[in-house]
Amino acid sequence: MPELMYREALNQALAEEMERDANVFLIGEEVGRYNGAFKVSQGLLDRFGSARIIDAPISELGFAGMSVGAAMVGLRPVVEMMTWNFAILAMDQIVNNAAKLRHMSGGQLRCPIVFRGPGGAGGRLSSQHSQALEANYAHFPGLKVIAPATPADAKGLLKSAIRDENPVIMFEGERLYALKGEVPEGEHVVPIGKADVKREGTDVTIITWSRMYYFCMEAAEQLAKEGISAEVLDLRTLRPLDEEAILASVRKTNRVVIVEEGWALAGVGASVVDIIQSKAFDDLDAPVERVTGLDVNMSYAANLENATQPDAPKIIAAVKKVLYREGA
């Protein structure tokens, strides 16, 4: 399979879906002439024209609301937020309109729309540009939330999101855009709502998504050298959660560590713990451990930024705790 950067896989998905369906368009700040803040829309303006690749003013609430209206009348907008930190300004349109239109209209209206953009720490961008906000959107009925880690999953999930009849929120790890990975050629669609076991294991399950996946794989490789077999389950979709995959892995390994970039309080990982303790409590041989971002605002200094986030050593320590091998 060819190797593509994460941003190239997203670009390929956008181009293929725009070729497939003339109702699909992309809108956002600098998506046209500048080719996107992270170059995801490279070349799309030349290929599809300014009627379908639309440069928006710096008004997230405005172009989000306009796009919701376009979805209501039959178009399929893909709304690029320069960062999910800025999308906080558009939450009213996302959660009070896009998420609720089908319900409040008794099914008469639909809203096939994708809101996508980078989330999480971007590297010395300080507090206002470094937040992992997946839990905010996963909280609301009416939205689907995806957070792919690999280029292949990014392409496949974006294609599924564009084809979905419901509003989909897509988080792209800000530090993942230049990362390379194999991407299948031809039609490649990843179903929303399906987790993926990225590494088989027998001693402990590590559950994660988005950029934290790479720290989990690093930790699993180091643990293997110590004779500990870790299974890595990439959720990929945060709403709806793949309960079947979560429970199957828990019943296989009997120990669980959940890793997320965001804060612990009201995090997605807390909901995963609730599923496990309510439906697989008797399968556990140890309490579930969580590795999360520290409960502080992100610092600008690189050393403090790194100290704030999960990493392989923190994950390894949590794994050894659930295995009762602390200090080993």
CB-CB neighbours of 2 under 10 Å: 9
> From CA 310, how far away is CA 62, in angstroms rounded?
35
> From CA 233, how far away is CA 322, in angstroms rounded?
17
18, HSE (Cβ side, Cα atoms, 13 Å): 21
Q: Which of 16, 29, 80, 129 is catalytic?
A: 129
Mention every residue, 6+ apart, whose C-beta is less than 8 A from residue 72.
Answer: 101, 109, 110, 111
Cite the DSSP H helix spans in the chain.
Answer: 6-20, 44-48, 60-72, 91, 101-104, 134-138, 151-163, 212-224, 243-253, 268-279, 302-308, 312-322
User: Catalytic annotation on 182?
Assistant: no
Q: Which of 16, 29, 60, 80 is catalytic?
A: 60
- What is the spatial order of strands in the sheet that 256-263 belongs to? 196-199, 230-234, 204-208, 256-263, 289-293
CB-CB neighbours of 133 under 10 Å: 19
- What is the spatial order of strands in the sheet that 76-80 belongs to? 53-55, 24-28, 76-80, 114-119, 168-173, 144-146, 237-239
User: Catalytic annotation on 218?
Assistant: no
Mention every residue, 6+ apart, whose C-beta is less than 8 A from residue 143.
Answer: 94, 95, 98, 99, 137, 166, 167, 168, 169, 239
Mention every residue, 6+ apart, whose C-beta is less than 8 A from residue 164.
Answer: 112, 114, 144, 192
Q: What residues act catalytically?
A: 60, 129
